[in-house]
Structure 1
Amino acid sequence: MTSGLGTVLLSLALMAGPAVAFVPIGGGASTHISITGTALLQKVTETCRAVAEAAGHEFKPTGSSPEELVKACLGPTAKGEVSGAKFHSALQEIYTQNGLVDRDFVNSAPHHFNSEDFLGGRRLITEGMVAIKANVREENFQAARETLGKVLHTLQDFYSHSNWVELGYTEPYINLIRSDLPLENLADVNTATCSDCASGTCPNPILPNILKEKKLTSGYMGIFSSAKPKGKCSHGGEGDLTSTTVPRGGINKDERRSDNVAFHTAAVNAAVAASLQLLEDIRLAVGDNDFLRMMGIARSSVVCFVIDTTGSMSDDIDEARAVVYEIIDSKKGTQDEPSEYILVPFNDPSFGPMIRTTDPDKMKKEISKLKATGGGDIPEMCLSGLQLALTGAPASSHIYVFTDAIAKDIALKDTIVALIRRTKSTVSFFMTGASRRRRRSIRAASFDDYKDLALASGGQAIQVSKKQLPEATDVILDTSTSALVTVLHRARHPGKQETFPFMLDESLQNVTIYITGTSITFTLTNPAGVSQSNTEASGKLGTIKTVGNLRRIRLSADKLTGTWQLNIKSNQPYTLKVTGQSTITFIYDFVESFKGPHPGYAVLSGRPQAGQPATLMVSVMGRKGPSSMTVGNIGLITVSGPEAVSNSTMTDMGNGDILVTVDEVPEGEFVVILKGTDKVSNSEFQRQSTTQMSVSKVNIQAVVDSSVEPGEAFKLPFSVMTQGPGGQYSINARNDRNFPMSYPNSLTLTTGQYTNNTLTITPPASTPSGTDITLTMEAKSSSGVDSNYVVMRLSVVSKITDFVQPLCEVVSVLAANCPQDVSQCRPFQWELSANLTDGNGTGIESISLRQGNGTLSHTSLTDPIIQANYNASCCSQIVEFVAVDKVGNVGKCYHSIVRSGGPPALTLSLPLWLCLLVSVFVVRP
Structure 2
Amino acid sequence: MTSLLGIALLALALSGPAGAFVPIGGGTSSHVSITRAALLQKVTETCRTVAKAAGRKFNPTGSSPEELVRAYLGPTATGEVSGAKFHSALREILVQNGLLDRDFANSAPHHFNSEAFLEGRGLIMQGVVAIKANIRKENFQAARETLGRVLHTLQDFYSHSNWVELGNTDPYINLIRPDLPLDNLAGVDTATCSDCASGKCKSQILRKILNEKKLTSGYLSISSSTKPSGKCSHGGVADLTSVTRPRGGISKDERRSDNVAVHNAAVNAATAASLQLLEDIRLAAGDNNFLRMMGIARSSVVCFVIENTGSMSEDISEARAVIDEIIDSKKGTQDEPSEYILVPFSDPSFGPVIRTTDPEQMKAEISKLSAGGGSDHPEMCLSGLQLALTSAPSSSYIYVFTDATAKDIALKDTIIALIRTTKSTVSFFMTTASGRRRRSLTAASFNDYKDLAFASGGQAIQVSKKQLAETTELILDTSTSALVTVLQRARNPGKDEIFRFVLDESLKNVTIYITGTSISFSLTNPTGDSQTQQASGKLGTIKTVGNLMRVRLNADRQAGTWKINIMTNQPYTLKVTGQSIITFIYDFVESFSGSHTGYAILRGRPQAGTPATLMLSVIGRKGPSSMTVGDVNLVPVFGPGSGATSTLTDMGNGDVLVTVNAVPEGEFMVLVKGTDVMSNSKFHRQSTTQMTVSKVTIQAVVDSSVEPGKALKLPFSLMTQGSGGSFSINIRNDRSFPMSYPKSLTLKTRQYSNASLTITPPANTTSGTDTTLTIEVKSSNGFDSNYAELRLSVLTKITDFIRPLCDVVSVRADHCPNDMSQCKPFLWELTAKFTDGNGTGIQSISLRQGTGNLTYTSLSNPLIQANYNASCCSQIVEFIATDKVGNVGKCYHSIVRSGGPTALALSPPLWQWLLIAAFAVIVAVPAGIWIRDNAGKVFGFLQSAAK
TM-score class, shorter: over 0.9
Which amino acid is 2:933 matched to? Answer: V
Taking a change above 3 Å as real, the CA distance of residues 582 and 11 of structure 1, as seen in their structure-2 partners, is farther
CA contact (8 A) 1:812 1:834 kept: yes
SS for the counterpart of 2:651 is strand
- Render the CA deviation track for 1:424-469: whole Å, top value 9, x for unaligned: 00101111127998799xx996011000001111111111111111
* Offset at residue 27 of structure 1 (A): 2.5
Query: Distance in 2 between the 1:147 and 1:731 partners?
Result: 27
Cross-structure match for 1:864 = 862
Equivalent residues in 2 for 1:253-332, closer than 5 Å? 253-332=252-331
CA contact (8 A) 2:22 2:596 kept: yes
Cross-structure match for 1:25 = 24
Cross-structure match for 2:476 = 477
CA contact (8 A) 1:843 1:886 kept: yes
Q: Does 1:918 align with 2:916?
A: no
* Offset at residue 5 of structure 1 (A): 6.8
Query: Distance in 2 between the 1:152 and 1:100 partners?
Result: 12
- Render the CA deviation track for 1:327-363: whole Å, top value 9, x for unaligned: 1111111111110000011101111111001111110
- Render the CA deviation track for 1:549-597: whole Å, top value 9, x for unaligned: 1110110011420000000101110100000000100000000000101
Query: Distance in 1 between the 2:520 and 2:16 partners?
Result: 52
Query: Distance in 2 between the 1:872 and 1:6 partners?
Result: 32
Query: Distance in 2 between the 1:129 and 1:396 partners?
Result: 26
Q: Does 1:842 align with 2:840?
A: yes
Taking a change above 3 Å as real, the CA distance of residues 921 and 344 of structure 1, as seen in their structure-2 partners, is farther
Cross-structure match for 1:246 = 245
Cross-structure match for 2:343 = 344
Cross-structure match for 2:195 = 196
Cross-structure match for 2:913 = none
Cross-structure match for 2:910 = none
Match of 1:677 among 671, 675, 678: 675
Equivalent residues in 2 for 1:500-899, closer than 5 Å? 500-534=499-533, 536-899=534-897
Cross-structure match for 1:63 = 62
Cross-structure match for 1:497 = 496
Query: Distance in 1 between the 2:198 and 2:677 partners?
Result: 51
Query: Distance in 2 between the 1:106 and 1:308 partners?
Result: 47
* Offset at residue 922 of structure 1 (A): 6.3
CA contact (8 A) 2:932 2:938 kept: no
- Render the CA deviation track for 1:867-894: whole Å, top value 9, x for unaligned: 1111112222211111100000001111
Query: Distance in 1 between the 2:506 and 2:12 partners?
Result: 23
CA contact (8 A) 2:539 2:557 kept: no
In percent, how many aligned pairs have the same letter? 77
Query: Distance in 2 between the 1:922 and 1:241 partners?
Result: 49
* Offset at residue 376 of structure 1 (A): 4.4
Which amino acid is 2:699 matched to? Answer: Q
TM-score (norm 2): 0.95
Query: Distance in 1 between the 2:297 and 2:185 partners?
Result: 44
Q: Does 1:229 align with 2:228?
A: yes
* Offset at residue 74 of structure 1 (A): 2.5
* Offset at residue 153 of structure 1 (A): 0.1
SS for the counterpart of 1:388 is helix
Cross-structure match for 1:90 = 89
Query: Distance in 1 between the 2:937 and 2:480 partners?
Result: 43
SS for the counterpart of 2:800 is coil
SS for the counterpart of 1:446 is helix
SS for the counterpart of 2:931 is helix
Q: Does 1:163 align with 2:162?
A: yes
CA contact (8 A) 2:159 2:266 kept: yes
* Offset at residue 662 of structure 1 (A): 0.6
Cross-structure match for 2:914 = none
CA contact (8 A) 2:27 2:652 kept: no
CA contact (8 A) 2:343 2:351 kept: yes
SS for the counterpart of 1:544 is strand
Taking a change above 3 Å as real, the CA distance of residues 434 and 782 of structure 1, as seen in their structure-2 partners, is farther
Query: Distance in 1 between the 2:288 and 2:938 partners?
Result: 21
CA contact (8 A) 1:882 1:892 kept: yes
Which amino acid is 2:662 matched to? Answer: E
Taking a change above 3 Å as real, the CA distance of residues 114 and 8 of structure 1, as seen in their structure-2 partners, is closer
Taking a change above 3 Å as real, the CA distance of residues 508 and 646 of structure 1, as seen in their structure-2 partners, is same
CA contact (8 A) 1:200 1:249 kept: yes
Taking a change above 3 Å as real, the CA distance of residues 923 and 631 of structure 1, as seen in their structure-2 partners, is farther
CA contact (8 A) 1:24 1:102 kept: yes
Bigger mean CA offset, 822-831 vs 356-365: 822-831
Q: Does 1:113 align with 2:112?
A: yes
Name stretches of at least 5 consecutive residues in structure 1 with no aligned partner.
none
Query: Distance in 1 between the 2:938 and 2:141 partners?
Result: 27
* Offset at residue 313 of structure 1 (A): 1.2
CA contact (8 A) 1:19 1:34 kept: no
Equivalent residues in 2 for 1:900-919, closer than 5 Å? 900-903=898-901, 911-912=923-924, 916-918=931-933
Taking a change above 3 Å as real, the CA distance of residues 11 and 630 of structure 1, as seen in their structure-2 partners, is farther
Taking a change above 3 Å as real, the CA distance of residues 204 and 672 of structure 1, as seen in their structure-2 partners, is same
Query: Distance in 2 between the 1:766 and 1:92 partners?
Result: 34
Query: Distance in 1 between the 2:17 and 2:823 partners?
Result: 49
Equivalent residues in 2 for 1:169-188, closer than 5 Å? 169-188=168-187
Which amino acid is 1:637 matched to? Answer: V
After superposing on structure 2, the runs of 4+ consecutive aligned residues of structure 1 that deviate more than 3 Å are: 1-14, 16-19, 434-440, 904-915, 921-924
Query: Distance in 2 between the 1:686 and 1:294 partners?
Result: 30
* Offset at residue 370 of structure 1 (A): 1.0
Query: Distance in 2 between the 1:923 and 1:156 partners?
Result: 31
Query: Distance in 1 between the 2:505 and 2:643 partners?
Result: 24
* Offset at residue 910 of structure 1 (A): 7.3
Which amino acid is 1:794 matched to? Answer: L
Which amino acid is 1:873 matched to? Answer: S
Cross-structure match for 2:908 = none
Query: Distance in 1 between the 2:938 and 2:254 partners?
Result: 31
Bigger mean CA offset, 649-658 vs 423-432: 649-658
Taking a change above 3 Å as real, the CA distance of residues 634 and 543 of structure 1, as seen in their structure-2 partners, is same
SS for the counterpart of 1:467 is helix
CA contact (8 A) 1:59 1:75 kept: no
- Render the CA deviation track for 1:49-92: whole Å, top value 9, x for unaligned: 11011111111123333222112223632422100000000000
TM-score (norm 1): 0.97
Question: Over the residues paired in the alignment, what is the CA RMSD in angstroms?
Answer: 2.1
Query: Distance in 2 between the 1:663 and 1:127 partners?
Result: 42
Query: Distance in 2 between the 1:394 and 1:697 partners?
Result: 29
Taking a change above 3 Å as real, the CA distance of residues 8 and 161 of structure 1, as seen in their structure-2 partners, is closer
Q: How many residues are paired up?
A: 921
Query: Distance in 1 between the 2:936 and 2:617 partners?
Result: 42
Which amino acid is 2:555 matched to? Answer: A
Which amino acid is 2:862 matched to? Answer: P
Cross-structure match for 1:80 = 79
* Offset at residue 279 of structure 1 (A): 0.3
Name stretches of at least 5 consecutive residues in structure 2 with no aligned partner.
906-919, 940-947
* Offset at residue 10 of structure 1 (A): 5.5
CA contact (8 A) 2:376 2:438 kept: no
- Render the CA deviation track for 1:716-770: whole Å, top value 9, x for unaligned: 0000011111111111000000000000011111111100011000000100000
Query: Distance in 2 between the 1:728 and 1:504 partners?
Result: 49
* Offset at residue 649 of structure 1 (A): 0.7
Query: Distance in 2 between the 1:837 and 1:363 partners?
Result: 37
SS for the counterpart of 2:531 is strand
Cross-structure match for 1:49 = 48
Query: Distance in 2 between the 1:10 and 1:550 partners?
Result: 51
Query: Distance in 1 between the 2:57 and 2:7 partners?
Result: 20
CA contact (8 A) 2:696 2:719 kept: yes
Cross-structure match for 2:128 = 129
Equivalent residues in 2 for 1:388-399, closer than 5 Å? 388-399=387-398
Bigger mean CA offset, 322-331 vs 431-440: 431-440
